[in-house]
Structure 1
Amino acid sequence: MADATRSALLRPLTSRSPDEPHRAATPLELFFDLCFVVAVAQAAAELHHAVAENHVGHGVFGFLTVFFAIWWAWVNFSWFASAYDNDDVAYRLTTLVQIAGALILAAGVPRAFADDDWKLITLGYVVMRLAMVTQWLRVRHDDPPRRATATRFAVGILLVQVGWVLRLLLPPEWGLPSFLVLVVCELLVPLWAERGRPTRWHPHHIAERYSLFTLIVLGESVLAATVAIEAASGTGYTSALIWLAGAGLVIVFAMWWLYFDRSAHDLLTSFATAFRWGYGHYFILASAAAVGAGLAVVADYDTRSAHMSGVVAAYAVAVPVAVYLLSLWLLQVCPHHRGLVVYAFPVTVVLVLLAPFTPAPIQVIAVLLAALVSVVVLAGAGRGRSPAPEH
């Protein structure tokens, strides 16, 4: 009995097989994603308010920096879990600490946007990252073949966290350069640590983890836009808001369709391609979250509560949609497709960026994305396969 209890509390954190059959996301991973999306929602809400007040540069910078903290902590947890999740009590409690860090970060988002105060966000981020250090120290102890890899991860993460804390002491004019330097350092840690004896992540599991988080972020965009349209409606829904709601739904649904056209697991054939694909998802996920904020801005404009021109309001949707399509094209479309589909994506990006100059820009973007989905579906039919995702 004592041995069984000890085994449940603390099992060796050794590498899982990358060929493990039927590897799927765990309930803990799904709960982790749902808690993290709270921080995503906070960042998107602040982006909405900043752009609606015509503080576009401040809002975009704040959103991209906050989203990096959320995304990078999520990425590190997901790849680590793919290689080492043993689901013991210690692992679960460490994940709880990471979730707590995400919620602390979310609580600090309004203060960062309003007062340029990054203390609470930094605290939440450091809490999440130090929890990963403890996980890597466990791997260092329990997985001798990858002891050097785990040591490099632990040391690299710890040193960069010291940098984030010291950044709070710098004068404001050093804020952007120091942020960019530390971001580069964060991104280089896995590249440095994985030299020699790399970790053994599961391609199907990683592809599913990214797809599920993309799905949740798209759902958050739908929620953000719905709440904004409801708030803007006041005593009743105008025709402009009804058209906006319909077009917004088509846009987000098309984004979902295009991403899930087929699974990406067969792209993850090497560390080089996996790193490129995984890092590139920053742009897919950030733009997916920003679309909801953009639709909320357009709802404010349609009800005369936004302080900007109609063109600027429309670009709040057009730019993230264009970034999403371009990122998806580079990461998943070009490696999978040939012919018309490969050209349809960049053409659609250009047309989306021109749409704000039309009389009904959001509706035009919706039509363009629906047309792009049609091209993808026809291309899939031509290859003799269903457009349904291969999950």
Structure 2
Amino acid sequence: MGGLSNLLSDHLVFRPRDSAEAHRAATPLELFFDLVSVIAIAAAAAGLHHAVAEGHALEGLPRYLMAFFAIWWAWMNYTWFASAYDDDSVAFRVLTMIIMFGALIMAAGQTLLFTELNLTVVIIGYVIMRIGMIAMWLGAARGDAERAKTARRYAAGIGIAQIFWLVLPLLLALGLPLALLVVIGVALELAVPAFAERAATTPWHRHHIIERYGLLTIIVLGESLLAGSMAISTATAEGLSPGLIWMAFCGIIITFSLWWLYFCKEDHLTSTKLSRALSWGYGHYIVFGAGAAVGAGLAVQVELATHHAHTTQMAGDMAVALPMAAFLLGLWLVRDRHLASGTALLLLPAMALVCVICAVLPFSMTLLAAAGAVTVWLRNHPASPTHINS
């Protein structure tokens, strides 16, 4: 351990990258890091899926939101730091490994979180990830004199937030409500970038960040593809079921529609202004969380079709419709409200409402698939009365 500590201490200097660097793309290390996010997101989505299928949606949803926040926030902080300071050094790689180890621990704690509301393992994994980020920011403070104050603010703010999470079990034992404590902890975490970046903005790369967010969108939508594959596998294993095949087909249409709506010809993030970057970055919590939740809802549909679920068809339909609507609203929040004009400004909120209505009608999955396809057509068809500003 002493040798590793000395190695990190000697080389813990991260210098800023050029925010206007040409052809900046995700690195193999960033893609490798995303693999642990896949595992953690899949674990959280599986927890939500089983909670809804067992008729415990009202208990499972808040736990899913907590779990997904931890996964998303740790991923987001690493991503923005890497955009500004990734030098592919030994120190950066080793700290990335430590953060990945924390993510695996956090993923392993999802079962206890959903079944017993036991946060211990999730907190341990999360804090390990965040300690890695503290070390990264201290390295940035040493290597970027112009933004050293910003980096130290990040390190201090993250440290304070981790102290809070570590004492959270004690606060629970004293009788304080979990919901209140989680809100306080989340507020502390969210305040750190807003506070730190006001000293001096870090040199993150706009196109690189857009690409990284797009890659995570593909990951969360992959949960829906997995549910479609599961439906087809179940249909063939238990005797060919046209209903399951159709459900899988509708799920593919829904998933592809959400992908199509996210990946458009316009840049998502058109400004490096701090307020715009924060609202875009934070608003993606809704997009990412909803995208993975759609997959959980489709998995519930499979269990309903095979009579393995202990919930109502209405609950299963809502498990797809509500996250689909949330995805559209989140996409409107981070992108279309800034880019759209005319009737296009209302398109995604209106179709989100349509999705909710579809959930209470017969043939809900068919209607949701149609709603997704219609939304894509309205936003992209040249003859459409909607208009998106370039």
Measured against the shorter chain, the TM-score band is over 0.9
The alpha-carbon deviation at position 289 of structure 1 amounts to: 0.2
Residues of 1 paired with 2:121 and 2:261: CA distance? 36
Cα distance in 2 for residues equivalent to 1:379 and 1:36: 37
Is 1:267–1:274's contact at 8 Å kept on the other side of the alignment? Answer: no
- Quote the residue 2:74 is aligned against: 73
For structure 1, which segment, 305-314 or 151-160, has the greater mean C-alpha deviation from structure 2 after superposition? 305-314
Alignment counterpart, residue 197 of structure 1, candidates 194, 197, 200: 200
Q: Which residue in 2 is equivalent to 1:100? A: 101
Aligned letter for 1:60? L
Q: Report whether the alignment pairs 1:281 with 2:320.
A: no
Q: Which residue of 2 aligns with 1:261?
A: 264
Residue among 369, 374, 385 paired with 2:372 = 369
Aligned residue runs from structure 1 range 235-274, under 5 A: 235-264=238-267, 266-274=269-277
Deviation string for 1:101-144 (max 9, x for gaps)?
Answer: 11000011001111111111000000000000001111111211
Aligned to 1:322: 325
Alpha-carbon distance in 2 for matches of 1:119, 1:383: 49
- Displacement of 1:75 in angstroms is 0.6
Residue 344 of structure 1: CA displacement? Answer: 2.2
Match of 1:58 in 2: 59
For the Cα contact (< 8 Å) 1:229–1:296, is it kept in 2?
A: no
1:130 match: 131
Q: State the shift of 1:239 in Å.
A: 1.9
What is the CA-CA distance between 1:53 and the residue it aligns to? 0.5
Q: Name the aligned partner's letter for residue 51 of structure 1.
A: V
Task: Work out which of the residue numbers 341, 344, 351 in structure 2 matches 1:338.
Answer: 341
Residue type matched to 1:335 in 2? Answer: H
Aligned match of 1:32: 33
Kept in 1, the 8 Å contact 2:343–2:387? The answer is: no
Amino acid at match of 1:348: M
Deviates further, 232-241 or 308-317: 232-241
Instruction: Please give the TM-score of this superposition, normalised by the length of structure 1.
Output: 0.92
Task: After superposing the two structures, state which structure 1 stretch, 316-325 or 132-141, moved more.
Answer: 132-141
Identity of aligned residues (%): 42
Whether 1:312 aligns to 2:315 is: yes
Distance 1:357 1:182, change over 3 A: same
CA contact (8 A) 1:108 1:118 kept: yes
Deviation of 1:265 (Å): 5.1
- For the structure 1 residues 259 and 137, does the alpha-carbon distance in structure 2 shift closer, same or farther, using more than 3 Å as the test? same
Q: Which runs of 5+ in 2 are unaligned?
A: 1-6
Distance 1:237 1:149 in 2: 60
For the 8 Å contact 2:224–2:252, the answer to whether it is kept is: no
Change (3 A) 1:94 1:217: same
Preserved CA contact (<8 Å) 1:204 1:265: no
**Cα distance change of structure 1 residues 382 and 86 upon mapping to structure 2, 3 Å threshold:** farther
SS at match of 1:22: coil
User: Kindly tell me: are residues 325 and 65 of structure 1, through their superposed partners in 2, closer, same or farther at Cα, counting changes over 3 Å?
Assistant: same
Counterpart-to-counterpart distance in 1, 2:41 and 2:236: 25
Q: How big is each residue's C-alpha offset from its partner over 1:76-111, in whole Å with a ceiling of 9 and x where there is no partner?
A: 001101110111011011001111111000011001
Distance 1:246 1:265, change over 3 A: closer
In structure 2, C-alpha distance between the alignment counterparts of 1:31 and 1:380, rounded to whole Å: 42
Deviation at 1:193, TM superposition (A): 0.9
Paired position in structure 2 for 1:153: 154
2:142 aligned residue: 141
SS at match of 1:168: helix
Local SS of the residue matching 1:287: helix
- Distance in 2 between residues matched to 1:224 and 1:164, nearest whole Å: 34
| TM-score relative to the length of structure 2 | 0.92
Matched, 1:291 2:294: yes
Residues 1:359 and 1:384: Cα distance change in structure 2 (over 3 Å): closer
Residue 228 of structure 1, CA deviation: 5.3
Deviation at 1:175, TM superposition (A): 1.1
Number of corresponding residues: 380
How far residue 231 of structure 1 moved from its aligned partner, in angstroms, is: 4.2
Q: Could you tell me which amino acid in structure 2 is paired with residue 301 of structure 1?
A: L
Q: What RMSD over aligned residues (CA atoms) do the two structures have, in Å?
A: 2.2
Cα distance in 1 for residues equivalent to 2:99 and 2:228: 28
Contact kept in structure 2, 1:254 and 1:373, CA below 8 Å: yes
**365-374 vs 192-201, greater mean Cα deviation:** 192-201
Match of 1:230 in 2: 233
Greater mean deviation of Cα atoms: 192-201 or 248-257: 192-201
Taking the aligned partners of 1:286 and 1:380, their CA distance within structure 2 comes to 33
Name the counterpart of 1:47: 48
Q: Is the 8 A contact 1:140 1:147 kept in 2?
A: yes
- Partner of 2:341: helix, strand, or coil? coil
Query: Per-residue deviation at 1:338?
Result: 2.1
Change (3 A) 1:383 1:96: same
Mapped partners of 2:46, 2:343: distance in 1:
37
Long gaps (5+) in structure 1: 1-5
